[in-house]
Structure 1
Amino acid sequence: MQYRQLGDSDLNVSEISLGSWLTYGVGVEADKARACLDAAFDVGINFIDTANVYGRGAAETFLGEALKSRHRDSYVLATKVYFPMSDTDFGLSRAQIEKQLDASLQRLQTDVIDLYQCHRYDSGSPLDETMDALNRAVESGKVRYIGFSEWPADKIREALEISSSRGLAKFVSSQPQYSLVWREPEDEVIPLCADNGISQIVWSPLGQGVLSGKYDPDKPPPAGTRATSEEMGGFIKRLMEPGLLRAVQRLKPIAEEAGLTLPQFALAWILREPNVASAIIGASRPEQVLENAHASGVVVDTQLFLRAEAIINEAMAGASEPA
């Protein structure tokens, strides 16, 4: 496992990290989730990502129990705040950040969160108030560093200006959706972050599992996969277009040329970007963790990546054209 510095922080995180969205505490049994976590540590993964809203606290609670026997300095722990935890508890106001931070610390059974992230931008709270609350969290010692997920470029700039002008804690991480089938962050977010000491922590690097190649465009989705799950399948529907699934199948020989499985190739494509610190994987079986971890540190011929991009771009363009 290779490690990269997370933005302007002193955190070194594994290139592959373990996430818990729609899985631990929710869609995956505790014994299987614990086996995945153990496998992650076995292969050198040191970065664990979660959020208070995952299972309305269930994922944090699971991780708190599963991690309490491990030395706290053996892993980097990240969680998030913003989405509703009740009808009245949501957003990034000072009161909510303070309340939800304490609740997360209690569920995670720790005194400090290494990376506390704003799960989305909150247009209902003044940005000055949000940044001040995050700064207070850092000054209190409850949080080491702060980050955000899926913020628009203009709000990232505004937050950076507030931090600079007032001497507040500065964002060190961005958590966008990014993959061969979703490249939107390349337009503005990645260049802006690269210029300001902010690293990307990528979620859905395998396009909700589509880039694993397990979905045959001419057959129903295999039983037990995310595409067949009511709990976990909501975000995958837009990627299940037959033309795109056929294009993904065409990537398999290219991955083989690189000496990789298709998931490893897709993760290596993410890690080709210097501004990416880590790619978050979701796993329901230890074997998935082990396979994905082997994407770290591999060297792939750029021409193979370019061929893969061309295939996916053609398919995406075809899907967007009117019938």
Structure 2
Amino acid sequence: MVEQTDTTGVNTQLRRRLGNSDLELSPLGLGCWQFSKGSGMVGKFWPVLADEDILGIVRTSLEGGINWFDTAEVYGGGKSEEALADALNSLGNAASGAHVATKWWPIMRTAGSIPRTIDERLRRLKGWPIDLHQVHQPYSFSSAAAEMNEMAKLVQQGKIRHVGVSNFSAARMREADKALRAHGLRLTSNQVKYNLLDRRIEHNGVLDTAKELGVAIIAYSPLEQGVLTGKFHSNPELVRGIAAGRKLSGSFKPAALARTRPLVDRLAELAGKYGASPSQVALNWLIHANGDTVFAIPGASKPRHAQENVHAMAFKLSSDELQELAVLADRCKR
């Protein structure tokens, strides 16, 4: 892990190698699901963002040291990819060096759809190369090996640089990495849900396997749909205003909020110590609790949310604090 400073003296935050790749990325990227423009069933999870807001979010992220963006085919059927590309292109030199990760949607498809859809991904990204192409889910009509064989061909053709997966089990990660090794490649990353309140990957073999294989973990939902910000503990009435899909999470129920309050209160105390916010402390735990293995992709629907994200990289919790938060999080399950 290295720290860099740009020519103006502005700290561009930490950079770390993404798994087995040669990509040097910030520990936090920007998740771009919310750029879906309300298109498709998945895109309706978020309100429609204006182009100027998307531009402001991307600009703020870049200025704060974030140098990569995660999108997907299924996010608005390509609308998120387009919106991200438009923002990056509008920023010109300010976006120089930015990296883009996207994902192929496998459900109800075979591996043969990977090469058939890649040109559409590139078209939507409007000249931005695909530094990381990921299989979005483990469910398709093909094996992980078959999917990796098609991904390897895209690397060889120069259409993508690196291969990742998402929501893969430990066993399926091994299958994917083995298939890529036959082509002289390695699996780069596994994108999974991971945060202080959802640490399943620590117990189901996924995190251990990632460390063994040198695979990066990319954590989505790093704030448990906003629960770790503490705002719903401070004002439970806010739960009424969230989208119906988010309400399905048991984390918003009164009993769950009561159970997680000690953790959120400690996040607030540490936030005071570091001149940060509870959400920034939760993100800081995520990117430091497992060395350089874990990256995270918080979203942002306003430029101020992006500013909130980037400050999470401006400090580092002590080893004792990292452990303390893990213990408090474990108690939330009881």
How high is the TM-score relative to the length of structure 2? 0.84
1:250 is aligned to 265
Query: 1:245 Cα deviation (Å)?
Result: 4.6
Q: For the residues of structure 2 that align with 1:35 and 1:310, how far apart are their CA atoms?
A: 37
1:112 is aligned to 129
1:76 is aligned to 99
1:200-219 equivalences in 2 (<5 Å): 200-216=217-233, 219=236
SS in 1 for 2:237: coil
Match of 1:229 among 228, 236, 243: 243
Query: 1:169 Cα deviation (Å)?
Result: 2.9
Aligned partners of 1:82 and 1:122 also within 8 Å? no
The one-letter code sitting in structure 1 at the alignment partner of 2:72 is: A
The one-letter code sitting in structure 2 at the alignment partner of 1:229 is: A
1:160-199 equivalences in 2 (<5 Å): 160-164=177-181, 166-187=182-203, 188-199=205-216
Q: Where does structure 1 lack aligned partners over 5 or more consecutive residues?
A: 85-89, 318-323
Q: For the residues of structure 1 that align with 2:99 and 2:77, how far apart are their CA atoms?
A: 22
- When residues 145 and 267 of structure 1 are mapped into structure 2, their CA distance, relative to the original with a 3 A threshold, is same
2:303 is aligned to 286
Match of 1:21 among 16, 21, 33: 33
The one-letter code sitting in structure 2 at the alignment partner of 1:185 is: I
1:140-159 equivalences in 2 (<5 Å): 140-159=157-176
- 1:265 is the counterpart of 2:286: no
Q: For the residues of structure 2 that align with 1:119 and 1:234, how far apart are their CA atoms?
A: 23
Q: For the residues of structure 1 that align with 2:87 and 2:28, how far apart are their CA atoms?
A: 19
The one-letter code sitting in structure 2 at the alignment partner of 1:247 is: P
1:53 is aligned to 74
Aligned partners of 2:114 and 2:150 also within 8 Å? yes
Query: 1:24 Cα deviation (Å)?
Result: 4.6
Aligned partners of 2:286 and 2:294 also within 8 Å? no
1:320 is aligned to none
Query: 1:83 Cα deviation (Å)?
Result: 4.9
2:8 is aligned to none
Structure with more helix by fraction: 2
Q: Deviations over 1:8-66 (max 9, x none)?
A: 21111111211112345332332212111111111121111000101122111211222
Q: For the residues of structure 1 that align with 2:128 and 2:66, how far apart are their CA atoms?
A: 21
SS in 1 for 2:226: helix
How high is the TM-score relative to the length of structure 1? 0.87
RMSD: 2.2
Query: 1:156 Cα deviation (Å)?
Result: 0.9
The one-letter code sitting in structure 1 at the alignment partner of 2:243 is: S
Q: Where does structure 2 lack aligned partners over 5 or more consecutive residues?
A: 1-12, 39-46
Q: For the residues of structure 2 that align with 1:271 and 1:201, how far apart are their CA atoms?
A: 10
Q: Give the fraction of aligned pairs with identical amino acids, expressed as a percent.
A: 29
Q: Deviations over 1:74-117 (max 9, x none)?
A: 21100001255xxxxx43x3321012221111111126310000
Aligned partners of 1:113 and 1:142 also within 8 Å? yes
Aligned partners of 2:106 and 2:139 also within 8 Å? no
| Alignment size in residue pairs | 305
- When residues 83 and 94 of structure 1 are mapped into structure 2, their CA distance, relative to the original with a 3 A threshold, is closer
The one-letter code sitting in structure 2 at the alignment partner of 1:174 is: N
